[in-house]
Amino acid sequence: MSTVKSMIKLIITSMLVFGLAACSAEKNKFEKEAEKETGSVKLAREIQQGGYKVVTTKELKKWIDSGKDMLIVDTMPFADSYEKQHIPGAVQFLFPIPEMKQWDTKLTNGETEEDFIKLLGDDKDKPIVIYCGFVKCTRSHNGASWAAKLGYKNVYRHPGGIFAWQGAGYPVEKVN
């Protein structure tokens, strides 16, 4: 009889543990959804405020593979990121993480607004894709916003950045 009681206790304990785990997983699912929503709304508001468009990792890869004439700008620090890995064909121009409403050479590694214009070129209609590390990183927002402020008409932010690029299994370039 004690074996039967032990089995019943084990079954009841197991059911409680699995039930609590299921409740925890359910709560975690809702918390993750709330986080996604917060991030999505933040990104949407940055896009509205910045006056630029977005391009997905898959779309950007298709553009590169098709030979689309565009400029790709990596806004991460040179030695810490760009030098080690960047999207093929990208050039580097540092932008800060905090929103940069006024041009500040202390935040752009001494680079001026004129340096950025020179990098972007004279063709205001040429597609420009600007990225940083990952969706929450706002370096790409700053870069894309400034390009749009300067009158460039086809500015795209690649919000997933180098992390999404690598997550999709796409090749990267390194500075030798």
- Domain holding 30, by residue range, is 1-49
Both 72 and 36 in one domain: the answer is no
What is the per-residue pLDDT across 56-109, written as a single tens digit (0 to 9) for each? 999 999 999 999 999 999 999 887 788 899 999 999 999 999 989 999 999 888
pLDDT of residue 21: 56
The pLDDT > 70 percentage for the chain reads 85
Both 38 and 62 in one domain: the answer is no
pLDDT at 7 over 60: no
Both 91 and 76 in one domain: the answer is yes
DSSP string for the chain: -HHHHHHHHHHHHHHHHHHHHHHHHHHHHHHHHHHHHHHHHHHHHHHHHHT-EE--HHHHHHHHHHT---EEEE-S-IIIIITT-B-TT-EE----SS--SS--TTTTTT--HHHHHHHH-S-TTS-EEEE-SSTT--HHHHHHHHHHHTT-SSEEEETTHHHHHHHTT---B---
Domain-located, residue 174: no
Both 91 and 154 in one domain: the answer is yes
Domain-located, residue 176: no
Both 29 and 61 in one domain: the answer is no
* Mean pLDDT along residues 120-144: 94
Q: What is the CATH number of the domain that holds 113?
A: 3.40.250.10
Question: What total of structural domains would you count in the chain?
Answer: 2
Domain-located, residue 175: no
